[in-house]
Structure formats: structure tokens, C-alpha cells
């Protein structure tokens, strides 16, 4: 199996992929869109994408890419993130002026950044920040990244586990082009993910959600994002607790369809045990 991930070697997406598929071939991509595009063009490729974090919230632009490429979700994975402050060998923490990392990592480590009065520099990814520090011989700049990144780029870890909240969890989605649904079994827990656009009518969203209430179906996620071509109508990303072949979920989706302009099923997959549904 070949799995694409965004970032340089040592990225958290790579670590998450290793936890799920230790024997897979992991391939680095520069951007999230590159991961989506390559997976969309080749059924043999899969990609692992971070979608949201328990502290910093959703990862920017992923919803737009999910809507654009319509990749199918095969699985979800909740990965505990442990951030580390690292610099070149011999650099002291008191000599630092700047800290470089992905915007999510910066937002998740605000206490340490404020304590040491460091000026944040937003970069494309965490592992890339570690690589940049290593290659540019910077003595007043540190990176926030994984222990694997520190090892790969020969950096010294100055502070371990610097995240503000030790319950720092990122949810990842494992996706690909081919439609694959697990068999429906009543004793197992499933998630059905979809994207829909409501009709431009009063109480349209209220009516969309009514079917779930009527059929006793729970939603674990519902968030809006604008249609990039207009601010007049919004799309909704929805995670439904249940399998699409469950009669209750089917009835809910049928009612949802009456009040939407578009409805796309993004995947049906086993709920992670981390959820404890």
C-alpha cells in the first residue's frame, strides 16, 4: 500500500500513518492539495489527512479540498500529538528569538512561546520547520516538531511535550478514490460522512436536521463552510453516527435530500474506539 501524507519526513501525518499501517510505503507531498489530487488520479494511492485538533480546531482548507475532490473516507484515526521545542546542537533556549512551525502547532504551544517571549514564524509544516532550522544553521531560531523530526534532522530537543493541553489529539482521515464500504453489522459502530448544501429557504437547515431527530440518529459533527464561489450559500460537513445501510440512517438521509440542493456521501467507515460511542 502506498500512502501520501503532507509535509516533510518526520511529519505527524507520517507518524499517524505508521500507527495504522506500519508496513505501508509512505510518500511525502508538499501540500494537502497534492495529496488529494494524486489520490484522485490514481486508485492505487491512499492519503492520510489531519482534519481537526482537540485544541486548535479544524485544519484550514481541508473541507474545501474534501468537497472539491470527493475522495472516499475509509477510516479515521485519533493520534496523540506531543510537541517538542528543538534547535541546532549547542544552541541554548535563552538565546532563542524565534520559533518556526505549522500554524496548528504554534496555536497549541502558546504558553511556552509566551513564557520565553518567542516570535512565531508560520511555516507549511512541522517537520519542514525542523529541516529548515537544520539546513540554514540558525542559532536564534527553534522549531516545534516531533521527536522523529529531531532525530532525522539532527536537532537537540530543548523542551519535550510543550503542548498547552496534554490531551492534545488530532483526528486523521484515511482516504482514496475507490468507493469501499464495510458490511453493516448491528453490533458495530460506524460513521457515515457527507457534505450537503441546503436550499435557500427559511429554516432549511432546521428541516434538514429534523429527519435525524425523528429517526433517533445522532450527529457527531456538523460544521459549515462557505461555497468558495459565493458567501450567499453554505455547505455543511456532517458525520452521522451509523451505517448508511441502517434503515434509520437511510430514512434520515432521504428526508435530508428533500431540503438540499446537493448531497454527497464521502464515506462509511468503522468508528474509532477512541470515540467510545
Annotated domain spans of the chain: 2-81+169-176, 84-159, 190-275
The DSSP code sequence of the chain is: -EEEEESSTT-HHHHHHHHH-TTSEEEEESSHHHHHHHHHH-TTEEEEEEEEETTTEEPTTHHHHHHHH-PEEEEEEEEE---EEEESTT--GGG--EEEEEHHHHHHTHHHHHHTTPEEEEES-HHHHHHHHHHTT-SSEEEEE-HHHHHHTT-EEEESS--SSS--EEEEEEEESS---PPP-TTS-EEEEEEEEE-SSTTHHHHHHHHHHHTT--EEEEEEEE-TT-SSSEEEEEEEES-TTSHHHHHHHHHHHHTEEEEEEEEEEEPPGGG--
CATH number of 190-275: 3.30.70.260
- What class has domain 84-159? alpha beta
Instruction: Name 146's bridge partners.
Output: none
Decide if 184 contacts 192 (C-beta within 8 A). Answer: no
Would you identify the CATH topology of the domain 2-81+169-176?
D-Maltodextrin-Binding Protein; domain 2 (3.40.190)
Digit-by-digit pLDDT tens for the chain (277 residues) are: 999 999 999 999 999 999 999 999 999 999 999 999 999 999 999 999 999 999 888 998 899 999 999 999 999 999 999 999 999 999 999 999 999 999 999 999 999 999 999 999 999 899 999 999 999 988 999 999 999 999 999 999 999 999 999 899 999 999 999 999 999 999 999 999 999 999 888 898 999 999 999 999 999 999 999 876 666 678 999 999 999 999 999 999 999 999 999 999 999 999 999 998 5
- The pTM of the full predicted model, rounded to 2 decimals, is 0.90
Same fold, 84-159 and 190-275: no
Cα 237 from chain centroid (whole Å): 13
Residue 146 grid coordinates: 516531533
Amino acid at each position: 500500500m502506498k500512502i501520501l501524507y503532507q509535509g516533510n519526513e518526520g511529519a505527524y501525518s507520517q507518524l499517524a500513518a505508521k500507527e495504522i499501517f506500519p508496513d505501508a510505503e509512505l510518500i511525502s507531498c508538499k501540500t494537502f492539495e497534492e495529496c488529494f489530487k494524486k489520490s484522485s488520479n490514481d486508485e492505487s494511492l491512499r492519503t492520510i489527512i489531519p482534519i481537526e485538533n482537540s485544541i486548535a480546531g479544524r485544519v484550514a482548507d481541508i473541507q474545501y479540498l474534501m468537497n472539491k475532490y470527493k475522495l472516499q473516507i475509509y477510516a479515521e484515526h485519533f493520534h496523540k500529538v506531543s510537541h517538542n521545542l528543538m534547535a541546532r546542537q549547542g544552541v541554548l533556549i535563552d538565546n532563542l528569538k524565534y520559533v518556526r512551525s505549522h500554524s496548528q502547532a504554534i496555536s497549541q504551544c502558546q504558553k511556552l512561546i509566551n513564557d520565553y517571549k518567542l516570535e512565531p514564524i508560520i511555516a507549511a509544516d512541522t517537520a519542514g520547520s525542523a529541516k529548515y532550522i537544520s539546513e540554514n544553521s540558525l542559532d536564534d531560531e527553534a522549531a516545534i516538531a516531533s521527536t522523529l523530526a529531531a532525530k532525522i534532522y539532527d536537532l537537540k530537543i530543548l523542551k519535550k511535550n510543550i503542548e498547552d493541553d496534554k490531551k492534545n489529539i488530532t483526528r486523521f482521515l484515511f482516504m482514496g478514490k475507490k468507493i469501499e464500504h464495510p458490511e453493516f453489522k448491528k453490533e458495530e459502530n460506524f460513521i457515515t460522512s457527507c457534505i450537503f448544501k441546503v436550499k435557500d429557504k427559511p429554516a432549511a437547515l432546521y428541516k434538514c436536521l429534523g429527519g435525524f431527530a425523528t429517526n433517533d440518529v445522532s450527529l457527531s459533527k456538523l460544521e459549515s463552510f462557505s461555497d468558495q464561489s459565493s458567501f450567499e450559500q453554505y455547505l455543511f460537513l456532517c458525520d452521522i453516527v451509523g451505517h448508511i445501510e441502517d434503515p434509520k440512517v437511510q430514512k434520515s438521509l432521504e428526508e435530508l435530500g428533500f431540503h438540499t440542493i446537493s448531497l454527497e456521501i464521502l464515506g462509511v467507515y468503522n468508528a474509532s474506539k477512541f470515540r467510545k460511542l
